[in-house]
Structures are given as structure tokens and as C-alpha cells.
Chain A
Amino acid sequence: MPTQAHAEATRAGAGLRSNLAIWIVLIAITGFQVFLASLRLPPMLLLLILAGLAVVQAGISMSYFMHLRYEKFSLVLWVIPAILIFTAIMLILFLPDAFRLLQMHSH
């Protein structure tokens, strides 16, 4: 079904150059992640930075490669919060218990 969003996506993503630029950014972020992993940072700090960079990569990929930025904003409001909210619920439900068990191990 051709829509204005698709036409915009075609115009905006039509060039190899623009898609190549996005690809280079994603590769650069990956390279930076590997560099950070080589630095022996504290594990929690490394985890937060790597997870944050992964979220940035995911956002770039969804926006430009999956053309989410050219779709109806209502789709964005449905897809992104659904994933974030249910992931947050799982984290809130399970991770505190993991730290509780860790403390039990250490006693």
C-alpha cells in the first residue's frame, strides 16, 4: 500500500551514500563498544554504557533502516513504549531478587 511515508522513505533512503553513512555510524558504535570492553572498567559501569550504546544503535536502526521515523507517529507510540514498559516490568520484578540471592551467597 503506497503511502506518503513510503514515498518519503524512498526519497530519504534512496541514496547509497545516506545508508552507508548510517552503516558507518553503527560500525563506529560497535568499535567503541569493543574498545570500552578492553579497558577493564567496573562491570556495572561497563554494562550501563554498553546497554546505552546498544539502545542508541537500536534506535538508529529502527528509525532509518526500518523506516520507523517515516511511519505514523501512533505506530511509534505503540511499538516503543510496549517494548520498554514490559522490559522494565521484567527488570523490576526479577533483578532485585537476583541481588538478594547474591547477598545470601556472600553471607
Chain B
Amino acid sequence: MQEGKNSAALDSAWSGGASPFAMSSKKLGMWLFIVSDSLTFSALLIAYCYSRITNPGWPRPFPMNPAIIFSAGMTVVLLTSSLTMVMAVTASQRNDRKATVLWMIATMACGLAFLGLHAVEWFRLIAEGATFSSNPWGTPLFGAVFFGITGIHMAHVLIGVVYLGIVATGYGRGKFSSEDVEVNGLFWHFVDLVWMFVFPLIYLMSVKY
């Protein structure tokens, strides 16, 4: 592809080498998506900050026990899923298909556990009277912000679980390569990374003392 070019020109970090950032289009595409989606979540969280600053009566509906402990448990589950995902990527680099698929199944299990726990959290708040447009504690915006941001994150987790299933199945059958597993891993770690901001900003800043 670039054989006719001066090889010295390919060695510079800014030359692009044989491809931009010396990575495949799949991986570059995923990084592009991650940057774009990061800004989407940044905008949502900044909108939340704006809403909270302008509404002094913002509810604090999460007591340390059980709400914060429960959501901290959810965070541990999601962090564990990142660990299992990086183990899957490492196994795929060793061409160990069985281990890769098993680690990916473990990641899916953690993702589904996170979704289940989050649903329990949602139902608890709904049972206490919180909806998208109202709540019994204070500013009505709380419901829209909480269910909106966490709902969009849950959608990403669900899509990530489906994506994991497709790649795990394909990789196990020899249809996908280790690079596909790595690109899948990038998306999954991004989903976890977003939660690292959602959890402290939405839960820990709304502790009920």
C-alpha cells in the first residue's frame, strides 16, 4: 500500500504511517465514536449541573443506606466487567479463543447484573413517587435529569451487552479477529468510564443526610 514511499516518512508519529495513528479503520472509528459520545454525556452532565445550580430546591433522595451502598455495589459490578473485558482482550491477543469467549461471557453477565440492579433502583424511586416530570421531594426537573441520564447510560450498557454477544459468538466461530474483540473492549470500557462520572455527580452529590 505504501511500499513506494520513503520508509523514513512512515516512522514519524505525524506522518500517518500506513494508516492514521497506525491503527486500523475499525479501531479509529471506535475512538471517533468514543470522543463523540463522550461529548454527548458531557453535555448531559453539564445540563444537569446547570439545572441543579439554578434550582436550590434540588432533591437529595439517596440515603447512604441503602441507596448509596447499593449504587456503590453497582459501580463495583461495572468495574469488574471492565476487568473481565480486559482479560478477554488479553486472551484474544494470545489467540486463546476459549478463554476469550469465557471472559466475554463473564463481562456480559456483569453487564446484565448492572442493568438488573439499576432497574431495582429505578423501581424503588418510582415506588416512592418519582416520575419523569415530578417527584415528592423537590424540583420536578430531578426526574427528567435522573431517568434521562441514567436511562441513556443503561441503553449504552444494553447495546454493549448485545455487541459483546455478537462478537463473542463470532470470535468463537472464527469469524472475528482479536482486533474485533479489542474494538468491542474499547466501547465497553467507555461505558464504564461514563459511569465513573455519573455515579459521583448524580448519586454522591445527592446524598440524603
Taking Cβ atoms with an 8 Å cutoff, the residues of A that contact B are 1, 3, 5-6, 9-10, 13-14, 16, 19-20, 22-23, 26-27, 30-31, 33-34, 36-38, 40, 43, 46-47, 50-51, 53-54, 57-58, 61-62, 64-67, 71-75, 78-79, 82-83, 86-87, 90-91, 94-95, 97-99, 101-102, 105
**Which of the segments B130-138, B144-152, B201-209 contacts the partner chain?**
B201-209
Closest-by-CB residue of A relative to B50 is A98
B13:A50 contact, CB within 8 angstroms: no
Q: A46-B204, A95-B46 are in contact. List 11 more A-B contacts (CB 8 A).
A: A6-B93, A23-B82, A27-B79, A30-B72, A37-B204, A38-B64, A43-B205, A53-B200, A58-B196, A61-B82, A65-B86
B42:A19 contact, CB within 8 angstroms: no
A14:B90 contact, CB within 8 angstroms: yes
**Which of the segments B17-25, B116-124, B158-166 contacts the partner chain?**
B17-25
Interface residues contributed by chain B, number (CB under 8 Å): 56
**Which of the segments B2-10, B168-176, B186-194 contacts the partner chain?**
B186-194
Residue B68 interfacial (CB < 8 Å): yes
B53:A74 contact, CB within 8 angstroms: no
Contacts between the two chains (Cβ within 8 Å), count = 152
B200:A1 contact, CB within 8 angstroms: no
A32 to chain B, nearest CB (A): 11
Contact A58 B193, CB 8 Å, known A34-B68, A94-B50, A95-B53: yes
Q: A6: which B residues are within 8 A, CB to CB? A: 93, 182
- Nearest 5 A-B pairs (CB), nearest first? A50-B200, A98-B53, A37-B204, A10-B93, A75-B21
Could you say which of A54, A79, A101 contacts B197, with CB atoms under 8 Å apart? Answer: A54
Could you say which of B42, B47, B193 contacts A62, with CB atoms under 8 Å apart? Answer: B193
Residue B126 interfacial (CB < 8 Å): no
Q: A71: which B residues are within 8 A, CB to CB? A: 21, 23
Contact A19 B87, CB 8 Å, known A1-B19, A10-B93: yes
Q: Which of B24-54 contact A (CB under 8 A)?
A: 24, 27, 31, 34-35, 38-39, 42-43, 46-47, 49-50, 53-54
Q: A30: which B residues are within 8 A, CB to CB? A: 72, 75-76, 79, 199
Q: B31: which A residues are within 8 A, CB to CB? A: 75, 79
Question: Could you list 20 examples of A-B contacts with CB < 8 Å?
Answer: A10-B93, A13-B90, A30-B72, A30-B76, A30-B79, A33-B199, A33-B204, A37-B204, A43-B205, A46-B204, A50-B200, A62-B189, A66-B186, A66-B189, A79-B35, A86-B42, A90-B46, A97-B50, A102-B54, A102-B56
